[in-house]
Amino acid sequence: MAFGAKTNERPGVRAQVRHVRSSAYKARQVLDLIRGLPVARALEVLEMAERDIARTILKCLESAIANAEHNNDLPADELYVSACFADEGPTMKRFRPRARGRAARIRKRTCHITIIVSRLDADALEALRAREAASGRVSGGRAAAEARRERVARSRQAKAERRADDHDHDHDHDHDHDHEGHAHDDEAGDAAEVTDVEETDGKDA
């Protein structure tokens, strides 16, 4: 009975992350989104994914792309995710105390994530180039991902600076109110002293 190529015999360049502190079920939900996509599109999908496991998968994909570039001399813009899967890892067992002296078991799942990238064949590569030319979009693989990452970092830095400026402005505003309060107290004290002096003069007269 044939089952196809074995996991460790699949062609392509791979990267693996072992003992990830997440269940294989959660990782497979994100891996299903990038399977069969060009790496540029897969990087975009992972960057926009809202799952925490997507960050780990993104690092694994970037590692696979780097392995293909440096070890096999494959251009990044001609690669696609030919296979990706998550295997069950060891489960750590913990216990939580419950009512009446009982204990509830907690299962902390782990998984091993593997991503394999391969080079597109001539027909698929030509179709990809045609789609990019029609849409006016050029894929840059990891270069495009780096550019997007730099833009996001600059945007976050500008937002943090704006928040810091707003905080400083509010702090200065509070100080101005404090100074105005002190000045008002001083004026009230001077008026009280003048009143006391006038009353004393009246008594002397």
Question: Which residues, in sequence order, are bridge partners of residue 67?
Answer: none
The answer, as to whether pTM is greater than 0.85, is no
Closest to 140 in 3D by CA, of 34, 44, 30, 71: 44
User: Residue 4 has what pLDDT?
Assistant: 60
Per-residue tokens: 122? 């001539």
Assign residue 116 a region (left: φ > 0; alpha: ψ between -120 and 50; beta: otherwise).
Answer: beta
Rounded CA separation 60/44 (Å): 14
Rounded CA separation 53/32 (Å): 13
Cβ atoms of 43 and 145 within 8 Å: the answer is yes
Question: pLDDT per position in the chain (205 positions), as tens?
Answer: 345 666 666 788 999 999 999 999 999 999 999 999 999 999 999 999 999 999 999 999 999 999 999 999 888 888 999 999 999 999 999 999 999 999 999 999 999 999 999 998 888 888 877 877 777 665 555 555 566 667 667 777 888 888 888 777 666 655 555 555 555 555 555 555 555 545 555 555 4
User: Residue 121 has what pLDDT?
Assistant: 86
User: Residue 89 has what pLDDT?
Assistant: 96
User: Residue 170 has what pLDDT?
Assistant: 64
User: Residue 205 has what pLDDT?
Assistant: 47
CATH architecture, domain defined by 10-139: Alpha-Beta Complex (3.90)
Cβ atoms of 140 and 40 within 8 Å: the answer is yes
Cβ atoms of 19 and 31 within 8 Å: the answer is no
> CA gyration radius for the chain?
32
User: Residue 2 has what pLDDT?
Assistant: 46
User: Residue 7 has what pLDDT?
Assistant: 63
Residue 39, Cβ density class (10 Å: 0-12 exposed, 13-18 middle, ≥19 buried): buried
User: Residue 186 has what pLDDT?
Assistant: 58
Rounded CA separation 85/91 (Å): 18
CA distances from 183 to 65, 171, 177, 178 (A): 67, 19, 10, 9
